[in-house]
């Protein structure tokens, strides 16, 4: 039995796909929303209401807003945004599903909270932020804790499990 399609069969399949896409496009574009309210079957007497005056809407100011470029200093965007709010940020690099990583993340977050520093948890398997910081620092094992201070300088790097007191002391030293 021949498992490939002939040219005629391919043309038929292509035509069928084209018809389905065209019909779907027509339904999406041709579908319109009605703005009129449905009429009622029985007649009602008009009720007079006092006229209300509404203030005229004010004119909107039209000026161009220029987007601000965020300088990440080679760090992930989440870390750069946290550095805008806090002078010191604790960055936790974890793998999803690793029990030690979850415990270490909880300790790092508690240490950062205790010192009033920012906290960012990065999944190293999430391609963009995870690999950017891994390449920059050469971190190969998780859990890893980084204490980053403005303008994106890594002040301390801890590999493995670290408790909240060590993280709090590193944040205090970074300031």
Cis peptide before 151 (omega within 30 of 0): yes
For 116-141, the pLDDT digits (tens) are: 888 888 877 765 655 656 666 666 66
| 85 CB-side CA count, 13 A | 12
- The CATH architecture annotation of domain 77-174 reads 3-Layer(aba) Sandwich (3.40)
Q: What is the pLDDT of residues 12-32, one digit of tens each?
A: 888 999 999 888 888 888 765
User: What number is the average pLDDT over the span 90-108?
Assistant: 82
| Strands ordered across the beta sheet of 118-123 | 118-123, 88-94, 144-149, 153-159
pLDDT tens column, 38-62: 555 555 555 555 666 666 666 666 6
Least confident of 103-117, 124-138, 158-172: 124-138
The per-residue pLDDT for 140 is 63
In the chain, which ranges are continuous DSSP H helix?
7-30, 77-85, 99-115, 127-137, 164-174
Residue ranges of the domains in the chain? 77-174
Under 8 Å CB-to-CB from 134, ≥6 apart: which residues?
Answer: 93, 124, 140
């Amino acid at each position: 039995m021949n498992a490939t399609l002939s040219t005629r069969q391919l043309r038929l399949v292509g035509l069928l796909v084209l018809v389905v896409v065209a019909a779907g496009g027509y339904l999406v574009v041709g579908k319109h929303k009605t703005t009129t309210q449905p009429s009622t079957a029985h007649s009602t007497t008009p009720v007079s209401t006092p006229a209300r005056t509404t203030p005229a809407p004010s004119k909107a100011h039209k000026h161009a807003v220029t987007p601000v470029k965020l300088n990440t200093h080679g760090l992930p965007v989440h870390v750069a945004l946290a550095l805008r709010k806090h002078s010191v940020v604790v960055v936790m690099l974890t793998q999803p599903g690793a029990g030690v990583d979850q415990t270490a993340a909880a300790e790092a977050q508690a240490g950062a909270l205790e010192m009033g520093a920012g906290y960012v948890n990065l999944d190293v398997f999430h391609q963009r932020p995870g690999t950017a910081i891994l390449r920059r620092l050469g971190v190969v094992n998780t859990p890893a804790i980084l204490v980053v201070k403005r303008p994106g300088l890594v002040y301390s790097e801890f590999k493995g499990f670290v408790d909240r007191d060590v993280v709090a002391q590193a944040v205090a030293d970074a300031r």
